[in-house]
Amino acid sequence: MLKHNRALLPAIGAATLLATLLGAPANAAETGHGPGDSGNGGGAMTFNQPKHQAHSNAAPMQCKEMTVDGGFETPKLGKGDDYMQFDEDDVPGWRTDDPDGKIEIWGGSMGVTPRFGKQFAEINATGSYNSIYQDIKTKPNTKIYWSFWIRARDSSDGKDVDATSIHFSKTPKNDTSINGLQGQFAYSNSSDDVRWKRLYGWYKTGPSQTSTRVTLTADDSASTDAGYGNLVDGLTITEAPNCM
């Protein structure tokens, strides 16, 4: 997923500071150590449209995608299928806390065009307030840069707004909850049913953190129907900010 936007992702401090500087909601939460400490930290920003930044003469870092199937292009929907609920074992890289173990993938025939490719996912498959997540290999004490897009599902005559969050934490060894260590960095933002909205930022791993869990959670949905809301597409994570 390293083809979305070529805008650089500046690592310029904590999420609250970034939100203040850019006029975004200051609702990012850092529940581990701050960015200036020896532990984990992160920052987040949000734009409805890609942000263009000045050209840099610095040599580009090698681009390597750290996620698996961040665009939800696999498995492919069958001909004529508007959407499909797949068993989590059939979706590369991803897992879920959906009560039926399902991950719902959409095509572009239900009134929403994918932000990238031909498919995207709805976090709520059969339940509400659900999460989808995957574990990625990381280097200790290293910043990684993330980006993904969110959109609300059109489920009423009026404007619908959903809230979606991203969480990062060290991969739990004895998994008792979806976020493991309750998320050493978490950021939540809202989206409407008119356009895709981009969230992006950075996260710093801690000592000995060779595996990191990234989780996308449906915090709130405009619909009262279980299984409705929180569309996501184009998750990409890389060590190189110039690759986003």
76-130 pLDDT per residue, tens: 999 999 999 999 999 999 999 999 999 999 999 999 999 999 999 999 999 999 9
The bridge status of strand 95-96 relative to strand 131-137 is: antiparallel
Q: What value does the mean pLDDT of the chain take?
A: 80
- Overall pTM surpassing 0.85 (yes/no): no
The pLDDT of residue 45 is above 90: no
The pLDDT of residue 147 is above 50: yes
* CA distance readout (Å), 125 to 73, 142, 177: 17, 33, 18
Q: What is the mean pLDDT of residues 65-70?
A: 97
Token readout for 97 is: 């806390």
Q: Does domain 15-49+63-70+134-243 have CATH number 2.60.120?
A: yes
Rounded CA-CA distance 104/128 in Å is: 13
The pLDDT of residue 175 is above 50: yes
pLDDT for residue 48: 53
pLDDT for residue 3: 42
Backbone φ/ψ region at 13: left (φ over 0), alpha (ψ -120 to 50), beta: left
The pLDDT of residue 20 is above 50: no
Domain ranges in the chain? 15-49+63-70+134-243
Distance from CA of residue 121 to its chain's centroid?
A: 11
The pLDDT of residue 160 is above 90: yes
Token readout for 63 is: 């681009």
Backbone φ/ψ region at 167: left (φ over 0), alpha (ψ -120 to 50), beta: beta
Could you write out the three-class secondary structure of 105-151?
EECCCCCCCCCCCCCEEECCCCCCCCEEEEEEECCCCCEEEEEEEEE
pLDDT for residue 207: 93
Within 8 A by CB and 6+ apart from 174, the residues are: none
pLDDT tens-digit map of 177-208 = 776 655 689 999 999 999 999 999 999 999 99
Q: Quickly tell me which residue has 């806390």 as its tokens.
A: 97
